Structure 1
Amino acid sequence: MTEPRAPRATLSTIAEAAGVSIATVSKVLNGRSDVAPSTRALVQELLRQHDYVGRQRTEPDGQRSARAFQVSGPSVELLFHNDLNAYGVEVVQGVLDAGAAAQVAVIVSRREDQPAGGTGADWVADLVRAGRRAVISVVDELSADDIAALDKVRLPLVVVDPLNLPDAQITSIGSTNFAGGLSATQHLLELGHRRIAYIGGPVTAACNQARAAGFRAAVEAAGEEVPDAYVRTGDFMFDSALKQAMVLLDLPEPPTAVFAGSDETALAVIEAARSRGLRVPEDLSVVGFDDTLMAKMSSPALTTVRQPLREMGAVALRTALRLVAGEELDSHHVELATRLIVRDSTEALREEA
């Protein structure tokens, strides 16, 4: 004989258990700010204990809203702002592994997929209704409105690999970008290269600035100068980098080596070299940044700076859970060490005939 199912929890059930009104429970579910923190915490805990699933919202076409999906048990929102690429997959794997170890569900989403016209408060209210305990954002493109809404309901935010300089009000996980740029360029200098170019990402991005600064520091320490034409910016993506690489290789005195700000950028440089009849590494040495799967699969296998993306994702998840537990962090920003991985896309400069 099977056990009868327990009745589904209702707003009334939760309100009675918490000793508050149904209206107060509704306010918590909708992310309203006019609820005392202690009351909010109690109601949220009871919602989780009772596996409360509210009424499914429907969109105009009658379909269920994916944003109203309720996950039983603790969950964390992993937020992306663009399509997933090799870089993003590594971060996701790190967060998923750490989430599995902590028995926390990880829900992957894109901010741009939210319905048009929605405010930061609307988005955060959806997260609260869905039982999210924290948000991990890969690259900090959240608006001030989004961040304020998260702060208002005390939903912790952790940013992975922030584009902008670390903000003392936002917890972030990054890597030693300057050291990575320095080691990549020193490697090329040790191989005898002096005409070394850099193709990076957005000029305003802190990670790009740090990698470029490491590049310049290494070149200048070797007593060389960096021609303005040898420093190109883009968006770390293949198409943009391909155009920049073509410009470099068409210079009257093209570089003999290129330090690329991402693996995807490095593959674009290799493709540009092939289109110009140049061999890598015989005619052009190339170093990337990230050490994604594509670095190992490229032809030739890519020399690159290993950014510990999986570890960064795992640390972000564990940090988010520490914030959920109310723990004090030693630092609002943590940087994990980078490391040069030498493969087949670099070699010693050959003497010109």
Structure 2
Amino acid sequence: MAEEQSKWTLAQLAHEAGASASTVSKVINGRPDVSAATRARVLAVLDRTGYRSPVQQRRALADVPVVEVVLDSLNSAYTAEVVTGILGCAADQGVEVLVTAIGAGGSRPLNPEQRAQRIVDQGRTGLILVTSAFGNGPLDAFHRRGVPVVVIDPLNPPPDEVVSIGSTDWTGAKDATSHLLGLGHRRIAFLSGPESMECNQARLHGYLAALRAAGVAVDGRLIIPGSFRTDDGARRLGELLRLEPRPTAVFAASDTIALGVMSEALRRQLRVPEDLSVVGFDGIRQGAESVPALTTVAQPLREIGRAALRVVLRQVKGEVPDSRRVELATRLLVRESTAAIE
């Protein structure tokens, strides 16, 4: 049983661990400049004594948990849907949410240790990252300080102790491509997001799996990487239309790309879906309101946000997550932007 933490001073903890008080302080605050062996001894003492720093005590006594949501900007329809889900769940749970857009500028960049320590000093009870700007360095720094973190659609697989949440990207992409194949299309282009993103790789592999299952040869010229921007979708359609023969359908890795494709098709006097079928991925509101309405693979974006907050709050209570990777099911929404090939 852990001993009453209020009886322990830094000096006493240092004596128990065979280290200096300053070293114990470094371990408590998650500083990296401590050897692995010394850190292990100090952590064992902290665990046995049940010691919590003053900041940790204030956090435990706080009536209202404060979870910070870090994102690139609020200009993305995808991000807005996820944040809406987080805020809805927070209202139900009595949790305060602070939203930080790191692309807003105006502040001096912090290194991973400084950023993580600021989170602790400001009393955040947890973090939800809807951005690819945080690599494993900051995530490790948060973990050392005991800050629960959940990453939504990470750029790369996070460290083992960090939970990530996304959707069934591979299955969704396979469903989208199979839908186009079922309409008779054989030259199906794939306009991806950034090649290195984990979700994008899953969507690419789902697209390839559907083609191979149908016995359709893969044409590498029809796979064009880029960004998730609307204008990038328009640009890449121009590249596709220079091919001979042209593709008859486009599967875009996001609705924003797909909407750019449809806008550019209209500008070039191509009819969607008569001349070109288009499928997106995400299920954002703009796709349902487009003309024609966009066929898409819908992610449960708001539920992803709600799930992320629930996982953080469980970790705040000391519960161990059932899984380090959570995937919610996608569904294909067939609308007006796809049709059988003539």
Normalised by the length of structure 2, the TM-score is 0.83
Aligned equivalent of 2:114: 122
The worse-fitting range, judged by mean Cα deviation, of 286-295 and 250-259 is 250-259
- Say which SS state the counterpart of residue 193 (structure 1) adopts: coil
Distance (whole Å) between structure 2 residues aligned to residue 33 and residue 305 of structure 1: 42
Structure 1 residue 250, shift from structure 2 partner: 2.3
Task: Tell me the equivalent position of 1:189.
Answer: 181
What SS class does the counterpart of residue 51 from structure 2 fall into?
A: helix
* Structure 1 segments unaligned to the other structure (5+ residues): 1-16, 52-71
Structure 2 CA distance, aligned partners of 1:240 and 1:268?
7
Corresponding position: 1:260 with 2:252: yes
Distance 1:248 1:47 in 2: 55
Is it true that 1:86 corresponds to 2:82 in the alignment? no
User: Over the residues paired in the alignment, what is the CA RMSD in angstroms?
Assistant: 2.5
- In structure 2, the partner of 1:338 is 330
Equivalent runs, 1:1-353 vs 2, <5 Å: 32-33=29-30, 36=46, 38-40=50-52, 43-46=55-58, 49=61, 73-112=64-103, 113=105, 115-165=107-157, 167-350=159-342
Q: How many residues align?
A: 309
**Aligned-pair CA distance for 1:299:** 1.1
| 341-350 vs 33-42, greater mean Cα deviation | 33-42
Deviation at 1:252, TM superposition (A): 2.2
* Cα pair 2:90 2:96 within 8 Å, conserved: yes
* Alpha-carbon distance between aligned partners in 2 of 1:118 and 1:43, rounded to the nearest angstrom: 21
Partners in 2 of 1:172 and 1:114 — Cα distance? Answer: 29
Residue 18 of structure 2 corresponds to none
**Contact (CA 8 Å) 2:153, 2:198: kept in 1 or not?**
no
Give the 3-state SS of the residue equivalent to 1:165 in structure 2: coil
In structure 1, C-alpha distance between the alignment counterparts of 2:89 and 2:140, rounded to whole Å? 27
> Compared with structure 1, are the counterparts of its residues 212 and 143 closer, same or farther at alpha carbon in structure 2 (3 Å cutoff)?
closer
Q: Give the TM-score normalised by the residue count of structure 1.
A: 0.81
Conserved 8 A contact 2:68-2:100: yes
CA apart distance, 1:199: 0.2
1:288/1:45 CA distance change after superposition, 3 Å: same
SS at structure 1 position matched to 2:172: helix
Q: 1:180-239 deviations in whole A, cap 9, x for unaligned?
A: 010001111111111111101111111111111111111121111121111111111112
**Aligned twin of 1:7:** none
Residues 289-340 of structure 1, C-alpha deviation per residue, up to 9 Å, x if partnerless? 0001111111111100011111111111000111111112221101111110
Kept in 1: contact 2:211–2:218 (CA 8 A):
yes
